Amino acid sequence: MRKRRFGISLPSQVAEELDELASTLEVNRSKLIEEMVSQGMVERGHLLREHRCTGVLMVVTTKGRESELYRVYNEFRGVIKSIAHFHSKGLCMDVLFIEEAESSEIASLEKEIRKVRVSVERYFPVCHLS
């Protein structure tokens, strides 16, 4: 595959950790960045086209934010098929199953969840697998 070269700027600590990780995994820095960007493109790149999407959304927050978060979930109850809720060491973890929802709706849901300032918000689409 043809490759394109371009420079990127990273905070120095991130750059150092990246080098450390590349050395731990015994891959070169370019290869590691390529893998990380590819992963990111699977997670976010599907939003480039309007489609019906199935996937899993993971949300982690500290306890006490649940009511704010559940208000958002309730607003998007037409998009979220089911929710599993777990507790561990002061953290709340939600796994939301989303099936055949409009990709634009999923993007809006993600945006509203991030407004609650959760610790982690990640969507793992499976639309590219079928």
Site track for Zn ion across 2-41, x = CB under 5 A: ----------------------------------------
Task: Answer yes or no whether residue 96 interacts with Zn ion by CB under 5 A.
Answer: no
Report whether 99 contacts 129 (CB < 8 A). Answer: no
Task: Answer yes or no whether residue 110 interacts with Zn ion by CB under 5 A.
Answer: no
Task: Answer yes or no whether residue 125 interacts with Zn ion by CB under 5 A.
Answer: yes
Q: What is the residue-wise DSSP string for the chain?
A: -----------HHHHHHHHHHHHHHT--HHHHHHHHHHHHHHHHGGGGS--EEEEEEEEEEETT-HHHHHHHHHHTTTTEEEEEEEEETTEEEEEEEEEEEEHHHHHHHHHHHHHTT-SEEEEEE-GGG-
Q: Residue 46 or residue 73: which is nearer to Zn ion going by CB? A: 46
Given candidates 79, 80, 92, 101, which one binds Zn ion under the rule CB under 5 A?
A: 92
Task: Answer yes or no whether residue 98 interacts with Zn ion by CB under 5 A.
Answer: no
Size of the site for Zn ion (CB under 5 A): 6
Residues that bind Zn ion (CB under 5 A): 46, 53, 66, 92, 125, 127
